[in-house]
Structure 1
């Protein structure tokens, strides 16, 4: 086994830290130490307490010494890897992201990636991520950084804007769900056992949560055209019933992939992120709650997020009571490959600055694509070419991301507002958009 030190910023996380520990326990390639750092020191201590039970469960293949540090630089000393998953500010600040825009008639199904909610969250996240980058490069400059925090493009971009030499990847599981959906379709269509999602080879292009599959291959055969021909639009009334039923059961994170399919119908490329996220990059699906429901999608409400945050031990109890099982994330696979603990290259999707893997995006913009990961090496794979109409949508969102990132890094309020003003979800009058921006700004209590 390869011995490594992993530092987890946000180590008091209710779910992500526990997922990582479970996957580490199931790894037969890594061992060492895991250091948890969190501004909520008590939450990190709780996860440390749980860790002994996770690594002690039947089926555990590895053992990590789990420690807690309350000083970031101490936590980072000697780290081979740094994992970041944080909530930027208390959950109550999601009121700013969700309820203020809603007051102005702007609806968001998630509110953590784009739109006024995503920008408000970016205003909180970017300075924090930039500060992390400075600490990492001062203390453990050779460490690889894996970021799970949303808004993914802005958070990953902040790491590189602050420290251009940092070695960081932004990792997201949304594409996995698209693979799983296609795997189920293959099983139904061909009468075979449902293949592993990893058997579905996608070619994706775009920015995080607004990615598109330009091709999908199973057993060497392209299946995207056949899938498109078999798609059924779905009855809006029936889809609304499905969405409302999920709301009543608080099943906020599932959908019918009808928005992803609608992009395929209209433009010839399949949405490769969940419908909840795809909807937020364009104004078409979120003109009202009724409209988004008619696509089978629920909006995750602020009130539910507060309720979940008020019971932080619920997720921990599930990990204590359940059997040890893979989380479905690929973070540990990346760590194994980067550490040189396996001879196999890992092919997966990730977010990093464009170095030419996306020929239609500006160099340096944070884009999502597939790539190959091996010992201390990341090689992005060239993206497929998107249709001009979809690339135009991507271009606007890349421009918004760059305006907001540069505006925050330079403490330039006017530049941030320029990005805010051209966001497609702000499909309201200029006066209302300015009033919403001013209210968000005041609520964030920024000092610049």
Structure 2
């Protein structure tokens, strides 16, 4: 006899998960060596894209019973989408895993605590930029009041799981807003800046430097009001409808002919922003506006290249010194197909020697909040990443996403390499290079 939960789950999969997309998978296995969880679990098929797609279809057809192992297979997916470039059939795995998480979220009973946490996160902090700013002010108070130092001194953090202690250890120092310090040039183009939620609070210094570099390259930077979190965390957590609420707010905020580009400096955000058109194609009121928004979306390194930063860097002189390397943001590489641009900027940066990181295109284990929800698997993946780092021994690991930045800092901390290397956002790195050559 089919249980009530099994029936609800099957109906939810039938309603939310596209059978057409499921049938695109040819089961060829080209995705397997690209999947971090497949490799980290010693080639467990249920933790591969092909295996998960088979489970999705089986759930939709009622051929498998919903249980903890099925749920774990879907939860364990990083959503890095490295399988998509590897797939000869063009399977839209990103769509399928999002649809699957929506199906599970709608059918699975939620406890009181989970409901409360989800409401606070997806209807509160990540739905209202003001609430995000207020939350980060608490972090700032924790850091500046002496509470952080006291907490660490008395060992209070030892009461928490190790991964929480590690993440607390790499939280960026929340700075007060500073005046811009870089020389500006005559304006030749207008761009709108998507500031992001974490980037405009925890990493507001990086945002400030982003604006400075764009202005130094001759861009007039517009900051549309009423912009919100991109909605990526909603979409990756089975709350796609709420993510689209944020998307519509952003589309309305940026709906202008005044600028050719909507630039962002967070790879995970950029991928979701670029897919607004796909997510809203069935909504007549927003379809065309969403497509235009997505067409204008551009990553900061790509815009730097367009605005001629490479020529500016080549014109600077400095003795070649420390090794720098680059860890790809999965979504920036796999969804937006941006991987040459940041490397070209690092190769042209004076005073540094660029060397490619082993498996730079593989996930570091951050994946949004994956490292918080799946700390054991995230650590396995990070450990694999750090093997390549230790072999290369760079002075700086450059990243293009806040989650990747913090995850790589955790890896450096775990290996005791804090005195030898640091993880740096590409904007912060380039800003330092340019500023040194201005003085």
**TM range, normalised to the smaller chain?**
under 0.3
TM-score (norm 2): 0.27
Q: Which structure's relative contact order is higher, taking Cα pairs within 8 Å and 6+ residues apart? A: 1
More strand by share: 1
